[in-house]
Amino acid sequence: MKVRVVIIAAVSADGFISRGTGVPWDLPEDRAHFRRLTAGRWLLLGRRTFEEMTGWFREHRPLVMTRRALPSPWEGAGVAGVEEAVGRVAEGGGGELWVCGGAAVYEAAMGYADELILTEVKERLGGGVAFPVVEAGEWEMTRREGGGGENPRYDWVGYERVRKGTGKGG
């Protein structure tokens, strides 16, 4: 069975996911949305993001992209890249891999992705860690919904791949 690759990210209006460390906004409803969607899933995270989220993975199956050994109890969670992660999900009988960042992992996974679930935050960071370009022509927007009440600070936006990319995985 093909493993479906889903990227989930919160991105600023000028295309950044972070100023360098941590998440640059406080959006409780969006955090709940992220938890709800990713609960019970196979996740792929970069080692830096994994360390930032320590203690968070009680109801998930995290795989961590790293070139190093991971500390106990996560020794078995390390992977060298997206293809290895997809292989691990398939071996485990899973149907989806949810890619949760950071930038290095989004960049590596973009060419493999079938779906993007983005929180488009209506705030400009002016610099920082960039999200990869969503190539027009490869993606179709399937959903846009204002999140966060009457005066939304962000939109939840879904994209489905309509054309393969030219890069790795595409």
Ligand X SMILES: NC(=O)c1ccc[n+]([C@@H]2O[C@H](COP(=O)([O-])OP(=O)(O)OC[C@H]3O[C@@H](n4cnc5c(N)ncnc54)[C@H](OP(=O)(O)O)[C@@H]3O)[C@@H](O)[C@H]2O)c1
Site residues for ligand X per CB under 6 A = 9-10, 17-18, 21-23, 46-49, 52, 65-68, 80-81, 100-105, 108, 129
The stretches of the chain forming alpha helices (DSSP H) are: 28-38, 47-52, 82-91, 103-109
Gap between the Cα atoms of 47 and 78, Å rounded: 9
With tokens 């070139």, the residue in question is: 67
Give me the residue whose beta carbon is nearest to ligand X: 102
The distance of closest approach from Cβ of residue 128 to ligand X in the complex, given in angstroms and rounded to an integer, is 8
Name which of 75 and 150 has its Cβ closer to ligand X: 75
The distance of closest approach from Cβ of residue 133 to ligand X in the complex, given in angstroms and rounded to an integer, is 16
The distance of closest approach from Cβ of residue 105 to ligand X in the complex, given in angstroms and rounded to an integer, is 4
The distance of closest approach from Cβ of residue 56 to ligand X in the complex, given in angstroms and rounded to an integer, is 12
Gap between the Cα atoms of 57 and 69, Å rounded: 18
DSSP 136: B
Name which of 106 and 139 has its Cβ closer to ligand X: 106
Name which of 1 and 69 has its Cβ closer to ligand X: 69
Token pair of 30 as six digits: 């969006």
With tokens 């290095």, the residue in question is: 104
